[in-house]
Structures are given as C-alpha cells and as structure tokens.
Structure 1
C-alpha cells in the first residue's frame, strides 16, 4: 500500500528542513489539491512552469527526479541544496513517531506513491 500525502509531506519536511529559504519554499506544505494540481513556485524550466505532479508520467514528476538524480532536473542541482542527499549511503531521517527511514526506502515509497497516482490517503487513488 502506498504512503499517504501526509507521510510524503513529513518526508519532504525532514529531507529539506531549510527549504523555506529556497526560491520554491516548502511547496509541499499546501493542501493536497494544490500540491497535486499546482506548479513548483519560484522556479521554471526553460521559461515554463514546472508541474509538481507529472500526470502524464507520475514517476517522472520533477520533485522526485530532483531528489534522486545526481544531475538534478532542468539544469537545477540535485536537492536538497547544501545538504546530504537521500541517495547518499547511510542517509536516513527520523520521523515524528521516532522511526528511522533510509534514503532508499524514502525513494521506494515516493515511487510507489506516484505509481499509485499520488493518493491523498494510502487507500485512495487520484483519478
């Protein structure tokens, strides 16, 4: 079963605690509806807005690509900037419930969430 949107938000909060200082800010701290239908604020790709969720190919969504790809996305470096990357060996985050999640597990969970069409709750699917 895929993670929920709330769990995705917690992952992103832990991965990018200083994202509030970035041009895009904490764009994931919006409503589910805004996140799944909106664009990454404050950044563009070749003068075009960047959808948060790529509904033509969910797993090619920019926010995942920029977290997991060493080359980043659209001439933007892998995120988070100036911090350890989820792809680095030994990377993990501590969630609010005290559990540890490795970078590899985070990426698996986000892929699974996107493959399920980004459900708000783990039992839902976006249509």
Structure 2
C-alpha cells in the first residue's frame, strides 16, 4: 500500500490556530487512524530553535534559526497510507478544506508527496 507524507506550510508567527480547527483535526485524524490511513504526524515548533546543515561545495556548515529569509515554514507533517494516489489526493483536499473552514484568514499550503521505498518512480 503506497505511503504518503503530508506537509502543512504557512507563514510563521501568525498566532495559534482557532480551537475549532484543533477540534476538527482531532475528529478527522481519529477517523483516519481508525481506518488505518493515518500512521503518524504532528505539529512543529517554530524555527527559532531549528538547525540546518547546509552542504555546499563539499563542505558542511551549520545554520541556526530563526530564518529571516523564509516566509513560509513547515508547521506540521503526517505519514499516511492509501490504496491509491487518487484516494490520497482526495483526503489531502479534505484536510486542506478543514483549514479553509476553520482558519480562513490564514494562507496554508497543504502538500502531499508519495514516499519512495526505493529507486523506482511513483506508481511503479
């Protein structure tokens, strides 16, 4: 069964989501977990304590947050499994719709990517 990773990107420092979004997400994630779709996930703290290791020209350098150059940051993630890409896309749209309904004043980008189990292309 194909696995997918979902990311939620949004502007940093915009405040906490409304309680209604937390409540709706609890219900949605509970339903997805009961179906065996939602495997793991969670929210992320801000970039103030983030650490990047940048590899450039064969050298590794450490860059500590916060990152002034980043307007959008990943604020949450999930690992899910679906029978098909079409099912995964449909559920990611429902997930995005929860944000539109409960936090309409914020721009959120909900990204879905298939997890690779090897060198093959998606759908192989």
TM-score in terms of structure 1 length? 0.29
Q: Which structure is richer in relative contact order (CA contacts within 8 A, separation 6 or more)?
A: 2
Q: Which has the higher strand share?
A: 2
TM-score in terms of structure 2 length? 0.29
- Specify the structure having the higher radius of gyration (Cα): 2
Q: Which has the higher helix share?
A: 1
